[in-house]
Amino acid sequence: MQDFLTGIAFFLIIEGLVYALAPRFLVAMAKLLPSIPEQQLRMTGLVAIGLGVGLVWLIRM
């Protein structure tokens, strides 16, 4: 459970950094998002999940 909470904390830190350091970039990305096909967004999300799981697996070995 501690590892899970640490992961959530890191996620919040990274999200906060994006909002604090690059708010214009975030707004531009939000405007661009509707023009990206749903299938491409889904595939990008699945790839990100796969990379995340792979990294956790490598770190925990």
Residue 4 is predicted with a pLDDT of 87
Residue 2 is predicted with a pLDDT of 85
Residue 1 is predicted with a pLDDT of 84
Q: pLDDT tens digits for 1-59?
A: 888 898 899 999 999 999 999 999 999 999 999 999 999 999 999 999 999 999 988 98
Residue 10 burial by Cβ neighbours in a 10 Å radius (0-12, 13-18, 19+): exposed
Residue 11 is predicted with a pLDDT of 92
3-state SS track over 15-29: HHHHHHHCHHHHHHH
Q: Which residue has the tokens 């350091």?
A: 21
Closest by CA position to 17, among listed 9, 7, 29: 9
Residue 56 is predicted with a pLDDT of 85
